[in-house]
Amino acid sequence: MTVKKATKKFEMGGLQLELKLTGRDVLNIEKRLGKSMMSLFMSADGGMKLPPLNEMLIVLQGANQTHGVTDNDIFAAFEKYFDEGHAPMDLFTVLTDLFQESGFFGKTASASKTNTESEVTLDNEPTTETTL
C-alpha cells in the first residue's frame, strides 16, 4: 500500500510554494548540498543546530512542487519575507515541520523497523536461543 504525501502550502514574500519531500527530492537536494539533509539539523556532537540560510533556501527550492520557480525567485521571496519581519528561525520551523510531515525523521522506534532491519543485528547477542 502506497501512502501519497500531501503538499504543505507555504507563502514566503508573496511567493506561493507547495512543499513536499519525495525520495527523488531528497536525493537531488543532498546532491546539491554535497551532504546529508540530516546534517543540516545536527551538530557534530549530536545536538540541534540552525543550518545556514543558503542551505535552507536550497531545501525549500528542492521541496517546492510549484512549477517554474527559480533560485532567483526563492531568494527574492526570502528578501521580502525577511523585510516583512520574519527571521531565519521562522524558515527553520517551516523546514522542520516539512521534514516531520514527510516522515524524514522516521516514525516511532517500533513502527519504523522493517523485516530487513529486524533480521540484521550487529550486537553480540545470538540470533537463535540455545540452552545448555
Give the burial string for 90-121 (b: 16+ CB within 10 Å, else e): ebbebbeebbebbeeeeeeeeeeeeeeeeeee
- pLDDT confidence of residue 107: 63
**pLDDT on residue 121:** 47
> What pLDDT was estimated at residue 122?
55
Assign 62 to helix, strand or coil.
Answer: helix
Closest CA to 12 of 89, 101, 82, 100: 82
Per-residue model confidence (pLDDT) at position 108:
43
Q: Retrieve residue 44's grid coordinates.
A: 557534530
Residue 21 CB neighbour total at 10 angstroms:
23
pLDDT at 20: 93
Domain edges within the chain: 8-102
Torsions phi, psi for 126 (to 5 deg): -70, 150
For residue 50, what pLDDT is reported? 86
List per-residue pLDDT tens for the chain, 132 residues long.
555 567 889 999 999 999 999 989 999 999 999 999 888 888 888 888 889 999 999 999 999 999 999 999 999 999 999 999 999 999 999 998 998 888 776 764 444 444 444 454 455 555 554 455
d(CA 117, CA 54): 35
Residue 121 to residue 48: CA distance in whole angstroms:
28
pTM for the model = 0.73
